[in-house]
Chain A
Amino acid sequence: MERLTGIGVSEGLAVGPALVAIQRTQVIRFPIAADRVGRELVALDRARERSHEQLHQIRSRIAALRGADLAAIFDAQLLMLEDPMLVTRAAALVREERVNAEWAVQRAVEELGQVFNDLADPYLRERKGDLHDVAGRLRMNLRDEKGSARDLLQDLETPCVLIADELTPSVVAQLDWTRIRGFATDAGSRTYHTAILARSLGVPAVVGLHDVSRRVPPRAWVIVDAATGDVLINPTDDVRREAEARATLARGRAALPRPIEGPVETADGIRIVLEANIERVDDAATAAAAGADGIGLYRSEFMIAGGPPDVVGEEEQYAVYRQLLEGMGGRPVTVRTFDVDERQIARPVVDVALDGRWFPDERASGHAGLRGIRFGLANPDIFKRQLRALLRAAAQGPLRILFPFVSSVAEVRAARALIDEARAEVAAAGASAPAVPVGIMIEVPSAAFTASILAREVDFFTIGTNDLIQYTLAVDRTDERVSDRYEPLHPAVLRLIRHVRRGAARQRIPVSVCGEMASDPLLLRLLIGCGLTQLSMTPGAMPVARRVIRETHAGDMARLVARVMTLGTVEEIEQALLAAFGRSQESQKSEVKSQK
């Protein structure tokens, strides 16, 4: 038995099997039970096969449309997929270290990446981009095969105790908090955030342990004692039994999420609309089953699976949008037009040293290039093809169109002119194209600042917090040197969100939030405190969101947010939140006492 001591930041005691989560560039590492290794390897192999099919298809389409030279880029990617140094190596890691396939792929890529960096030849160094594309594609297909980290947690028979190096916002957003009894982290940083999270969830937590994530062996049992700040690894049977008895008492008030019962309301009766973010057509049915009020965001670029947008025809798109509407059975479906960067489309090869970056991987997403609505306006044929398909599908159900990456009113007006053209084209072909609500993503600071002006031009807003935070704070999340500066609690972020909501309210248009903030149990409360009543998140995050919303008093949160708005630093804000949640825990405890 090993004892480590850190800082207890909430109350109570948790006992359970440890789940060690280490995060690097948004990929989480989980240990896999011995009897699941086989399944993991099968998933990896299937992901490789699908990636192969997709690359092969893209290669054929490019060869037909643009010629063999360009298609040859994909030969290299196809070979990388079959390369023993990648997938075979990842499979070996899964087997030997018993880790999840995504992590194994990440590790294999990192090993290779190191060697690429040492190459003197800049052209060859560029091939590293192809490697990342292939890895990104593998991860995308693995997600399809296996589900998300959240689903992995669902598979555990008993809830676990989470041991993490650090609980960054992206890790928090990816986990199923109903399956987590308590947690312990290495980090001394984000202490407050972790503490507030723990208190708002009502679970024990200990932080500042330095190296607990490296010291907990696979399948160990751990005790996390928030009162003493102790974490015990592989406790003796006596110690464990005693702790379990105490843990059961302490857990008395924690309720499991109630089954899906229709519309969600805050503790003071404010209705909150919960919609789903999805990437695949099949997810629409999942979202409906999870009780989603609609689809708040369908990322249409995933239809292309990393190929060029101009190879997806109008009929193919129309079929997809219809399927989404059918899957949601009468509930609204919001389709975001292709959010790709033009660099992701191959151009005719002039010189052999070209690279055409295909896959919309995390590196490209932070890039302020010719993407989103800009891409659409620069490629009106592709844009109108999508608009025609959307307008036609809108005759089948409540469809909404969402434009990404908007930065000005001029862009919106130009896009609406294209909608008018598309509508005329649809009518000329003899089909009907009803009026469709048109909205924009608020993810660029210029749009956020001019929210009240933009609100006159559109029917709704969707705040994309991930990019909005990155651009407002000038932080590239994928740059490890600065990624910890990505701080949703920064005073600028809260002010900007409030500003957007007010701008929308002035014109009486609805505003929703998609983005990680909405799936974070703590930040979700702040969003409600800012006056937001529409959220969109991945379906797996909905059960916890429901529970958190029902426990949240919107009026109290509004007062808390007003207080917090006067504070200047993240630390002060966190201290204020900590105090607020500490107090609410106590008043809840005294409620329980008085009921006895």
Chain B
Amino acid sequence: MTTQTVTVTNQLGMHARAAARFVHVATRFESQIRVGRDVNVMDGKSIMGILLLAAARGTTITISADGPDEAAAVQTLCGLVASGFGEDQWNG
């Protein structure tokens, strides 16, 4: 199992589009992926799970993966979150 924490930096936090991007990327990996915020842990491949985490801007989340590609999964997903989902160049 590989685990890493990352802070959500984009304006609107993990709202629908960001969550959708996250899940799109997560489902490409074979490993089981979990995302945690405080005590809540959700399936990283579930859009509703991610939305329900309600990770707003400034929140720190924990991404963990378990499986053959776990290291790559955690690295890619943390990178995605840290880069603000590539959104900050858009307005809003």
Contact = CB atoms under 8 A, between A and B. Distances in A.
Contacts of B43: 84-85
Interface of A: 72-73, 75-76, 79-80, 82-86, 112, 115-116, 119-121, 123-124, 127, 130-131, 351-353
Interface bracket on B:
20 to 34
A86 B48 contact: yes
Interface in B17-60: 17, 19-20, 23-24, 43, 45-49, 51-52, 54, 56
A75 B20 contact: yes
A403 B5 CA distance: 58
Counting chain B CB atoms within 10 Å of each CB, the highest count among A75, A124, A130 belongs to A124
7 contacts: A73-B16, A75-B20, A85-B48, A112-B48, A124-B15, A124-B51, A352-B92
Contacts of B54: 119-121, 124
Q: Which 7 A-B pairs have the closest CB atoms?
A: A79-B47, A76-B16, A75-B20, A85-B48, A352-B92, A83-B46, A83-B48
Nearest to A352: B92
Contact of B19 (A76, A85, A116, A352): A76
A35 to B, nearest CB: 32
Contacts of B51: 124, 127
A76 B47 contact: yes
B17 to A, nearest CB: 6
Interface of B: 12-13, 15-17, 19-20, 23-24, 43, 45-49, 51-52, 54, 56, 92
Contact of A352 (B17, B49, B52, B56): B17
Contacts of B52: 112, 115-116, 119
Contacts of B15: 123-124, 352-353
A80 B48 CA distance: 7
Contacts of B46: 83-85
B contact face: mostly helix, strand, loop, or mixed: helix
A80 B16 CA distance: 11
A540 B49 CA distance: 40
A351 B47 contact: no
A72 B45 contact: no
B56 A127 contact: no
A48 to B, nearest CB: 15
A351 B19 CA distance: 17
A79 B12 contact: no
Contacts of B56: 121
A115 B52 CA distance: 7
B15 to A, nearest CB: 6
A351 B48 contact: no
B47 A80 contact: yes
A130 B54 CA distance: 16
A353 to B, nearest CB: 8
Nearest to B23: A79
A393 B56 CA distance: 54
A76 B17 contact: yes
B42 to A, nearest CB: 9
Nearest to B27: A82
B20 A79 contact: yes
A130 B13 CA distance: 19
A72 B17 contact: yes
Counting chain A CB atoms within 10 Å of each CB, the highest count among B19, B43, B47, B56 belongs to B47
Given A82-B47, A83-B46, 6 more contacts: A76-B17, A79-B47, A121-B13, A121-B56, A130-B16, A352-B92
